[in-house]
Amino acid sequence: MPLDLSIIIPTFNESGNIKALIELLHNTIDKSITWEIIFVDDNSPDKTYQQVQKLSKDWNNVRVLRRVGRRGLSSAVIEGILSSSADYFLVMDGDLQHDEGIIPRMFASIKQDNLDLVIGSRFVGGGSTGELALNRVKVSRFATILSHRILKTKLTDPMSGFFMLSRAFFEQNVERLSAIGFKILLDLVASAKTPPKLIELPYQMRKRTEGESKLEPIVVWEYLLLLLDKSIGRFIPLRFMMFILVGLSGVLVHLVVLKGLLNFTDYSFLIAQSMATLVAMTNNYIFNNLFTYSDKRLTGFKFFKGLLSFYLACSIGFVINITLAEFLFKLDVAWYLSGLIGAVIGSIWNYGMTKYITWR
Ligand SMILES: Nc1nc2c(ncn2[C@@H]2O[C@H](COP(=O)(O)OP(=O)(O)OP(=O)(O)O)[C@@H](O)[C@H]2O)c(=O)[nH]1
Ligand SMILES: [Mg+2]
């Protein structure tokens, strides 16, 4: 029988919510449609994936996609959808905050009216943020205002994690998604080639009772990255922009350390310059690992292995930089152009090499 609907639920440490959620969905969804639930679990320490595997013995339309060594709500949702063969997908949280009661209406609308998207909104008539703390609501409102810069279609709740979409709409746009961070709906609408045909249905958000929120400061950072990627990211790869920003911080660190060593120690210029270079490279590695590659962050033993490969790649980049700059300078190219071209080509080398060697 063809599958009508896949319900995609990203999870991280939600083992206390899984069973209740599966039961609620089975009690709500009409028997006349064929549907399934796909949990996409990022190898939760509380073993949510095991919980789902156990429960899927009782419910044969429930399965789990377990991802190892990865984090990210948006990428989890995308991969869950990619693993499905249904005509429509519903994305919802695994913490019981989304009201499953509106799913039948969502499904009826998207099918009858041939829509791309049906969005559960907390901010249209009848919707509400429930008992969500006021400061969270304010942050959400502010994030919504920022999002208008990159959205051609105005949504009342672009931060919503509760929405239904058609396969046709997803497939038209999947290759353009940024897949960064928490806000997959915003990503989808901002990436869409043509403005999606959509409606918003109100729902009242419930309070989380089991498990913990995963809203950490990194989520704000990832949100800004998503906005950046959807604006200037079309012209310059986002990672490269961040790599260059981190590189500039390294130049500053380099000069401060060099000045300090020259002023306060007896080291020769060569030694001081070498030490400053090493400190700057370490600085760049740490910040690139934290921000540029936050999704592939190296920890433990891999952190040190990565540091060594970073030193190696950047040393070669440095040789390329000065050789090229000197070559140009000797050809009578202006000093600043020679210097700049050397630095840019060296940086492109460093970016390309470390991308494939350090953060593979
Ligand atoms: N697969 C996966 N799921 C995640 C990740 N981060 C969060 N989730 C899940 O995404 C859903 C939404 O996360 P929440 O922490 O509830 O975020 P929120 O609803 O905006 O915040 P609260 O109101 O504080 O609950 C939940 O089902 C989480 O378990 C992740 O890195 N990977
Ligand atoms: Mg939640």
What is the value of pTM for the model shown? 0.83
The ranges assigned to domains in the chain are 5-234, 238-357
Q: How confident is the model at residue 166 (pLDDT cuts 50, 70, 90)?
A: very high
Question: What is the Å distance from ligand 2's center to 233 Cα?
Answer: 29
What pLDDT is attached to residue 215? 79
The kind and range of the H/E element at 249 are: helix 238-264
Which ligand is nearest to the Cα of residue 14, counting in written order? Answer: 1
Which ligand is nearest to the Cα of residue 161, counting in written order? Answer: 1
What pLDDT is attached to residue 360? 87
pLDDT score of 275 more than 90: yes
Contact 226, 150 (CB under 8 A): no
Q: Is 12 in the pocket of ligand 1 (CB under 6 A)?
A: yes
What percent of the chain is modeled with pLDDT above 90? Answer: 78
The mean of the pLDDT values for the chain is: 94
Question: What is the Å distance from ligand 2's center to 16 Cα?
Answer: 13
Contact 297, 289 (CB under 8 A): yes
Which amino acid residue places its CA nearest to atom 21 of ligand 1?
213
CA angle 259, 285, 221 (to 5 degrees): 110
Per the DSSP assignment, residues forming a β-bridge with 89 are 6, 165
The dihedral formed by the CA atoms of 131, 136, 139 and 144, expressed in degrees to the nearest 10: -40
Q: What is the pLDDT of residues 318-347, one digit of tens each?
A: 999 999 999 999 999 999 999 999 989 999
What pLDDT is attached to residue 213? 86
Let me know if domain 5-234 sits in CATH 3.40.50.720: no
pLDDT score of 136 more than 90: no
Q: Is 214 in the pocket of ligand 1 (CB under 6 A)?
A: yes
Q: Is 76 in the pocket of ligand 1 (CB under 6 A)?
A: yes
d(CA 196, CA 74): 19
Q: What is the pLDDT of residues 38-57, one digit of tens each?
A: 999 999 999 999 999 999 99
pLDDT: which is higher, 54 or 181: 54
Q: Is 328 in the pocket of ligand 1 (CB under 6 A)?
A: no
Q: What is the pLDDT of residues 57-102, one digit of tens each?
A: 999 999 999 999 888 999 999 999 999 999 999 999 999 999 999 9
Q: Is 95 in the pocket of ligand 1 (CB under 6 A)?
A: yes
